[in-house]
Structure 1
Amino acid sequence: MRPRSSLLAASLIVVAGLGAAHASGFAISELSITGLSESDALVANTYSLGALAYNPAAMAFHKGGYDLGLLGIYDHTQVTPAGGAGPVVATTPHWQTMPDLFWADKIAPHTRFGFGINEPYGLQIAWPAQTFPTLAQGPAAALAPTYTQLRLFDVAPSFSYRFGPVAVDAGADYYDAHRTVLGTPFATVSGSGAQVGAHVGALGQWGTLGVGINYRSAVNVPLDGTFSATGSSVPINATLHLPWQWAVGVNEALNTKLGVEFDFDRTGWSRFSNIVVTPAPGAGGGPALLTSTYDWQSSNAYRLGVHYALSRHVRLRAGYAYDVTGATNTDFSARVPDANRQEFSFGASQRLGAWSLSAGYMYVLFNTRTYASATPLSGTDPNGTSAYNGTYQTHAQLFGVSISRRFS
């Protein structure tokens, strides 16, 4: 029974690692291709359909329309583990694709209804089983972080109302964590769950100046999962704590062709104080099997977007962002080797009557992160210990295309 118990404990640690993975390295800020092109600085934008997903209050400045895009992500992560033979590249599938949609229409002179569908958390990472020397052999090999995947959709209906130069909105966020797969060399945990949150926002336009704010609530998503190993399957429960988010932005048209926006975002990563895993009621219930403590902190992002009208029908875009990680060294995990990052982006759109075609590109450069803990691995949780000591490097490229149509 001892080997099975060790595998179960290791696998529950994996479930706790889901929180870390989600909170730091698995968030996707890009909600449209326009946003991709301007480094997501769109909270105060009243003219682009691609801005509606960032602040649905902007719907009240449009008669209606939709924006449909497809985002592709290529990422590369590697570690040079302390005591290892050299760099090891994560074996994650490098290419991933994600859709996004926002649709809005007029339901009264000053009222709009719309909904967005996107995948705000949808990355994955996999390490070869022998990556980290401390976790390469013996009982500790059951703790090696070989695979982590999270795919979570957000369906977000909204109402927006405009009075004079100011519009407000309120809506819901239905989060569907429809696929979580987490693995060690000897066991796999899979599960799913859903929960509803809320968002509110406001947007004002005074001449050439736009000011916007948007807030999304924190949500606790209950997960029903299954621990699977050779010859055994145990149902388990956990909770995925999604952080609150708020953003404020200022948009200014400098002249008839050139406009600029600056946004400030803050995300409540500090909600990840701990993850508690319990046996499912169908397995007999009982006290917590594992309580895993974390030490993340809320963090900020600073975004600058620029757009230039090359002609009546062609608009060029560019952006820069500096995004601060919420992951601290106290409980660092190789499942999410996150670091502060810089984002460089550009794109363009072509208008064809009521239709528009857009394309964008972003390069994300993570700061090199060297982790050196003096705490040896002594239990069943390698987070925050010397087992993960090493130098981590990541970069990513994002590509996207979209089609949008304005209603008359």
Structure 2
Amino acid sequence: MRRANFELPTLAAAVLGLCASSNAVAGGFAVPELSTAGIGTTNALVANPDERGAIVYNPAAMAFHDQSSINTGLLLLAPDSHVDIPGGGGDATNADWFVAPMIQAAIRINEDWSAGLGVTAPFGLETRWAPNTFPALTGRAALPSPPFAPGSSVPLSPQPTQSKLEIVNFTPTATYRVTPELALSAGADIYWAKAAQLDSTITELEGEGTGWGFNLSAMYVKDRFSAGINFHSAPTVSLDGTFSVLDPNLVLLGAAPPSQTAELDVDLPWRLQVGVRYEIIQDQLAVELDWTRNGWSEFQEIKVVGDRTGTTLIEDQNQWDDSNAFRLGLTYNLVEQTQLRLGYSFDETPQGDEFFSARVPDNDRHLFGLGVAHKLNDRIQLELGYMYVMLEDRDFRSTRPYDPVNAPGDINGTTALNGDYSSEVHLIGLELSTSFDAF
């Protein structure tokens, strides 16, 4: 066996799992659900000057609120994935529920200035595949005897098993009301990758790290019409992790590097949202249309550097494309204390067939949301939202053969992953908000 047969491909298959999850709620591995109001309207809130839960989508909305507010809540997700492959396939062993924070504070300083802080989880989720899911990746290679015991063998291919990524974003912002109709906002995006883990049948890789970017937004409100725009820059999250080889025979053969610490930079996409909103019935029924552009073309390569040697252990190409999302949201004030919400979105996938990954069996998706908000009194509001995400089935058929002998780790986009993939996600948001006079 040659060292190249295992070292770089094995790391490539491992590292891909750090950056993606097959059950993300938007294209790629984004989770754009940032508030319970967003869940009910399928994230069509960038032009909404009224709802407290809209501030996290467009901080400039703070300028049009008469009081300060604090929203605290949880986002719960239940993903389900399945693949049909001749001789294999089956359900992914997903975590029963994935829980993410939703926190937003908006402080009204005076008539012109406001300050905010959001805590959300815009990227992540978790997927697990059983070791026998992909038959083409379950083979083993016989070892010579001696020096190894007769009948000894090592895994021939690194089948993906578990991928996990949890990124929390802290977003401090400042908003200035330029005119009675126009407000501008700017802030920082501080990303904390609190958990990044990848397991395969050959390797394990886990780590954590941080990164930062910036955000800019604006909102214009005139009578029943409003328009908003929000931009988040493309951050780089630097991860420090530990790479381990599960079978020590691979290290003895020189087919894989020994366990060591390593560094990885993950380029996340920029995000642009533009929306318009109109009150069809003043103070009662409003409709909003949003367009979102996600800059997944930033996610071009993954490069892992070993701390022991200082050399590049892997440099893998992804070549994802920028993608669009189209969102429709409705809000209806049933009575003064109670609001109903409804939404639909269509999200494009950024992933083409050439680099299709079992860790990210992504496809175009449809989002359906509904929600309710009820004022318990003049200051406290309770909100509940539900969303169903249906990924279009992806019948992946590659014409590029998988070569388990010369390129055992070169899995993505090959015939080893041929199959029919289906996924769905259920989301529940629960949030409590309170308003108050800060100054």
For the aligned pair, the TM-score class normalised by the smaller chain equals over 0.9
Q: Structure 1 CA distance, aligned partners of 2:53 and 2:156? A: 47
Aligned: 1:205 with 2:221: yes
Residue type of the alignment partner of 1:184: S
Aligned partner of residue 270 in structure 1, secondary structure:
helix
Q: CA offsets, 1:216-264, max 9 Å, x none? A: 0001111111112346521111111110000000011111311110000
Residue of structure 2 in register with 1:148 after alignment = 163
Is the partner of 2:416 in helix, strand or coil? helix
Root mean square deviation of aligned Cα? 1.8
Q: For residue 28 of structure 1, what is the aligned residue in structure 2?
A: 31
Quick check: 1:106 aligned with 2:108? yes
Deviations 1:105-162 (A, max 9, x none): 1223310011000111130101001111110112565410001000110000000000
Match of 2:124?
Answer: 122
Question: Following the alignment from structure 1 to structure 2, what is the Cα–Cα distance between the partners of residues 284 and 296?
Answer: 30
Matched-pair contact (CA < 8 Å) for 1:228–1:234: yes
Measure, in 2, the Cα distance between the counterparts of 1:24 and 1:360. Answer: 21
Give the Cα–Cα distance (whole angstroms) in 1 for the partners of residues 323 and 98 of structure 2: 26
- Share of identical aligned residues, percent? 37
Contact 2:27-2:362 within 8 A present in 1 as well: yes
Query: Alignment length, in residue pairs?
Result: 403
What is the 5 A alignment of 1:7-406? 9-21=9-21, 24-62=27-65, 63-81=67-85, 83-85=86-88, 87-139=89-141, 141-163=156-178, 164-230=180-246, 232-256=258-282, 257-280=284-307, 283-286=308-311, 288-352=312-376, 353-378=378-403, 379=407, 380-406=409-435
Report which of the two structures shows the higher radius of gyration computed on alpha carbons: 2
TM-score (norm 2): 0.88
Q: Give ranges in structure 2 of 5+ residues lacking alignment.
A: 142-154, 249-257
Q: Deviations over 1:344-394 (max 9, x none)?
A: 110101112111001010111110000000111231220111111100000
Given that 2:17 and 2:197 are in contact with CA atoms closer than 8 Å, whether structure 1 keeps it comes out as: no
SS of the residue corresponding to residue 319 of structure 2 reads coil
Contact 2:287–2:328 at 8 Å: present in 1 too?
Answer: yes
Say which SS state the counterpart of residue 18 (structure 1) adopts. helix
* CA distance in structure 2 between the aligned counterparts of 1:311 and 1:277, rounded to whole angstroms: 56
Q: What is the deviation of 1:272? A: 1.7
Secondary structure (helix, strand or coil) at the match of 1:310 reads strand
CA contact (8 A) 1:24 1:336 kept: no
SS in 1 for 2:15: helix
Contact 2:400–2:415 (CA<8 Å) still a contact in 1?
yes
User: Aligned partner of 1:208: which letter?
Assistant: R
Q: Which runs of 4+ in 1 moved over 6 A?
A: 1-5
Give 2:263's aligned amino acid. Answer: N
**1:173-221: CA deviation from partner (whole Å, max 9, x where unpaired):** 0000121110112321001110110000000100000100000000111
In structure 2, relative to structure 1, the CA distance for the partners of 1:24 and 1:189 (3 Å cut) is farther
**Farther-moved stretch of structure 1 (165-174 vs 270-279):** 270-279
What is the match of residue 146 of structure 2?
none
2:392, 2:12 → 1: CA distance?
30
Structure 1 counterpart of 2:152: none
Q: Which runs of 5+ in 1 are unaligned?
A: none
Structure 2 residue matching 1:122: 3-state secondary structure:
strand
Q: Which whole-Å CA distance do the structure 1 matches of 2:301 and 2:386 have between them?
A: 36
Distance 2:336 2:425 in 1: 33
Contact 1:7 1:187 in 2 (8 A): no
Tell me which amino acid in the other structure corresponds to 1:143: P
Q: Name the CA distance, whole Å, in 2 between partners of 1:382 and 1:276.
A: 17
Distance change (3 Å), C-alpha of 1:292 and 1:17: farther
Q: Which amino acid aligns with 2:30?
A: A
TM-score (norm 1): 0.95
Structure 1, residues 297-352: CA drift from partner, whole Å, max 9, x if none? Answer: 00000000001011010100000000001011010000011110001110101112
**Residues 4 and 377 (structure 1), Cα distance of their counterparts in 2 relative to 1, 3 Å cut:** closer
SS at match of 1:226: strand
> 2 CA distance for matches of 1:2 and 1:188?
21
Contact 1:343 1:365 in 2 (8 A): yes
